[in-house]
Chain A
């Protein structure tokens, strides 16, 4: 993802997401609030998409942010972006909950749906930009790859469940996920091109 919303107030405005996490690691509660203001909507959006229930989505976001709060001192910016790190906590929590609640649904991503939401114009513009960018990339994937990614990431289905549901061998599902993510990575790559990683055949 490119950088975060521009509505950032006061003293945090000039800080990168990673720098904000560094402050969170020092138990700075206003930095945690800042992190929430930057990513709370995205986190809630994906949790709601997975869980289809506002209360459960709030639980997943809350537990994800509190896990980040507890673990922030171990965050290493050279290993992950702050957004990836944070959303990992929230996503995993949401998937745990959806599996427990058995709420999973199979309908595909409603890409056209637009929920009007109060928020600053800059937030909205940034989120809309990111959404359109990722959606456009998703649309370019072969259907089967997109389906595997969406059912896994938004549906909370495990690869075994997907194999059963789609009537394919698990190996096929695995390769669709891998190919889909690798292709998506290329499509989302920064035009400035700092993407060195390629999915490698393993060599030792």
Chain B
């Protein structure tokens, strides 16, 4: 969507009047647009004033008790556990959806968390788009799945990946008839979703190595993931 069109969504967003996809597009834009953040802060304050215009009957007393009991059972500030890697694609889509809508990035904006989240969100957003693309195909391998669209956009999904050593990073590589090109740095985790920064052709090879923090221009270690986009080993 054009940037101007996205600016125009601020009022609707502050009223929660966007559908899922629109809201996600807007949130990605919001992470980069200072003036939308300022406008949204102002408009959301007015929107929330509307909550005061309706009758406010007392809720049942049990509601207060229930909230306090649940709160006691949940330590504050702990994000709910991510789903295990039962269904890779569903899990990634769920994480992306969670980041955008479930946890409420608008609330994140109001709480100042957006900057930290920007990189993660745009990365999740890219992965979600690749995974959701109707023409994408999956290449499963031992520790995960490579998803490639017809145009060569690709994402690497890995499960149960230990964190790299101290001062180290994981680095993805794409080799397509030449030397491997750097395709992105990432950390470990239960579910790791990496959008690749290089196009993946029909006969390309995707690899992952562990490198020194900041990455390198060419692999210096032996890859622990090697997957060919045509699925042949």
CB distance B79 to A87 under 8 Å? no
Known: A25-B76, A36-B64, A69-B76. A130 touches B52 (CB 8 A): yes
Judged by a CB distance under 8 angstroms, whether B173 is at the interface is no
Contact of B77 with A71 in the complex, beta carbons under 8 Å: yes
Q: Is the CB of B17 within 8 A of A69?
A: no
* Given A61-B63, A88-B110: A114 in contact with B76 (beta carbons within 8 A): no
Pick out which of these stretches binds chain A: B42-50, B158-166, B191-199, B214-222.
B42-50
Contact of B110 among A42, A85, A149, A188 (CB under 8 A): A85
CB proximity of A88 to chain B, nearest CB, Å: 5
User: Which of B33-41, B129-137, B148-156 is found at the contact surface with chain A?
Assistant: B33-41
Q: How far is the CA of A158 from the CA of B9 in the complex (A)?
A: 11
In the complex, what residue of chain A is closest to B9 when comparing beta carbons?
A174
User: Is A113 within 8 A of B64, CB to CB?
Assistant: no
Residues in A neighbouring B39, C-beta threshold 8 A:
197, 199-200
Main DSSP-derived SS at the B contact region: helix
Given the interface contacts A41-B58, A61-B59, A88-B106, does A131 sit within 8 Å of B52 by beta carbon? yes
| Contact partners of A29 in chain B: CB under 8 A | 68, 71-72
* Closest A residue to B15 using CB positions: A152
Q: How large is the interface on A (under 10, 10 to 19, 20 to 34, 35 or more residues)?
A: 35 or more
Q: Does B104 contact A (CB under 8 A)?
A: yes
Q: Is residue B212 within 8 Å, beta carbon to beta carbon, of the partner chain?
A: no
Most chain A CB within a 10 A radius of its CB, from B18, B77, B78, B113? B77
| Best-buried of B39, B55, B57, B64 by chain A (most CB within 10 Å) | B55
The residue on B at minimum CB distance from A72 is: B76
Asked if A84 contacts B55 (CB within 8 A), the reply is: no
In the complex, are the beta carbons of A115 and B55 less than 8 A apart?
Answer: yes
Can you name 15 A-B residue pairings with CB atoms under 8 Å?
A1-B49, A40-B63, A45-B55, A45-B56, A58-B63, A79-B109, A80-B111, A88-B104, A130-B52, A152-B12, A153-B50, A158-B18, A181-B11, A184-B49, A185-B45
Residues of B in contact with A (beta carbons under 8 Å apart): 4, 7-12, 14-19, 22, 35, 38-39, 41-60, 63-64, 66-68, 70-72, 74-79, 101, 103-104, 106-113
The 3 closest A-B pairs by CB, nearest first: A45-B56, A74-B111, A76-B112
